[in-house]
Amino acid sequence: MTNQGVTDLTHSGPVGVPVDPPLEDPPANFATVFEEAPEAMLLIGDDRAFLAGNRRARELLGVTPEELRGMRVDDIAADGIEERWASLLETGEQEGSVVVRSRDGTEHDAELSARADFEPGRHLAILRPVAPPRALERGKLSAREREVLRMLAAGATAREIATALFLSRATVATHVRNAMVKLGAHTRIEAVVIALRTGEIDV
């Protein structure tokens, strides 16, 4: 993959979004090669918003191209994204094992290879799932899920939680949805009640 090709991708093609004009004419078939690559590939902006993703990435995350462009890295990543993102920008690249969360809450163990500033302000991530997806386990809330439910129990709104925890509202919704699955709840209120009753959170 070349920087020239990435420029073309973010301007046109089935997974791109309009950005700045391309510097040069890229290979005509690059968008097709990117789209049909066997590994999940994602282009990410400085604000951690997804600019583009190929077919394999959309299948992994369970989203459409339009849904993907409305998401951020925070929506699919486990806790610790702030530290990992800062490390990527500082060192220029990152590799390792990560847990990726699809839109329906299913978690995937994957190997990550990422490169910062593949083009200025655009970062490339390649994900290779290494095991079958695993459903969320009930009764085992993450620290972040407990924190979000605790704030809900105290009367905070989703917007207030997102601001306080430096998260997007979509990420807050994902944490709530995952907590509901784990607790067997059908509503946010029921999730809070169950969490309080079982000692997952206190107020």
Domain boundary among 129, 154, 182: 129
Q: In this structure, are 125 and 174 located in the same domain? A: no
- pLDDT tens for 43-90 read 999 999 999 999 999 999 999 999 999 999 988 886 678 888 988 999
- pLDDT tens for 83-124 read 889 889 999 999 888 888 888 777 788 889 999 998 899 999
Q: In this structure, are 15 and 112 located in the same domain? A: yes
120: in domain: yes
pLDDT of residue 199: 87
78 neighbors 101 (Cβ within 8 angstroms): yes
Domain boundary among 129, 155, 178: 129
- pLDDT tens for 2-45 read 444 444 444 444 444 444 444 444 444 667 888 888 899 999 99
Domain boundary among 98, 129, 160: 129
Cα–Cα distance measured from residue 153 to residue 194, given in angstroms and rounded to the nearest whole number:
11
Q: Classify the phi-psi angles of 189: left when phi > 0, otherwise alpha if psi is within -120 to 50, otherwise beta.
A: alpha
Q: What is the CATH number of the domain that holds 27?
A: 3.30.450.20
83: in domain: yes
Cα–Cα distance measured from residue 102 to residue 69, given in angstroms and rounded to the nearest whole number:
14
**Helix, coil or strand: residue 182:** helix
108 neighbors 129 (Cβ within 8 angstroms): yes
Q: In this structure, are 96 and 171 located in the same domain? A: no
pLDDT of residue 78: 67
137: in domain: no
Domain assignment of residue 154, given as a range: 143-198
Helix (H) or strand (E) holding 60: helix 55-61
Q: In this structure, are 93 and 148 located in the same domain? A: no
pTM here? Answer: 0.55
Q: What is the CATH number of the domain that holds 163?
A: 1.10.10.10
Domain count, the chain: 2
Helix (H) or strand (E) holding 58: helix 55-61
Any idea which residue has 């993959």 for tokens? Answer: 1
